[in-house]
Amino acid sequence: MLASWQFWALGSAVFAALTAIFAKIGIEGVNSDFATFVRTVVILAALAFILSINGSWQEPASVSGRSWLFLVLSGLATGASWVCYFHALKLGNASQVAPVDKLSVVLVVAFAAFFLGERLSPIHWLAVLMIATGAVLLTVRI
């Protein structure tokens, strides 16, 4: 089970859901950028611990320049996402912010098709459209 991408993807979804709830509670009375900073420090410490326990540290010189470029770009995108997410949580309801944030699923599929040449069947594109529609409908207060 630990070798299954589905197991880890489900774990990611569970922890992402908890992130929204914990962040919404924790951000009360806190500047959203400072909250993002605290979150980042905790993640750095946790990952340093995991790398140390697993013996997974890697020589920086063993990483190609191309990989460095895209890992740095990914880090910048992650940071920008977190800043936006915490600011949105500060201003809105978690039950509305999180579904809009999950439109990233729709964007990943579109970007993967365009930039990476990944192919989806028509039924998969219908599913992507349903995800987008569901996310938008969850933002409407009735």
Distance CA 81, CA 87 (A): 10
Residue 102, both tokens = 């999950």
Distance between start and end Cα atoms, the chain: 41
17, 20, 86 from 14: Cα distances, Å: 5, 10, 18
Q: Residue 136 in contact with residue 114, Cβ under 8 Å?
A: no
Query: Where are the domains positioned within the chain?
Result: 1-92, 102-142
Q: Tens place of pLDDT for every residue, the chain, 142 residues? A: 888 999 999 999 999 999 999 999 999 999 999 999 999 999 999 999 999 999 999 999 999 999 999 999 999 999 999 999 999 999 999 999 999 999 999 999 999 999 999 999 999 999 999 999 999 998 887 7
Residue 48, both tokens = 């340093």
Distance CA 27, CA 20 (A): 10
Q: Residue 91 in contact with residue 139, Cβ under 8 Å?
A: no
Residue 11, both tokens = 């774990």
Instruction: Indicate the pTM of the whole model.
Output: 0.84
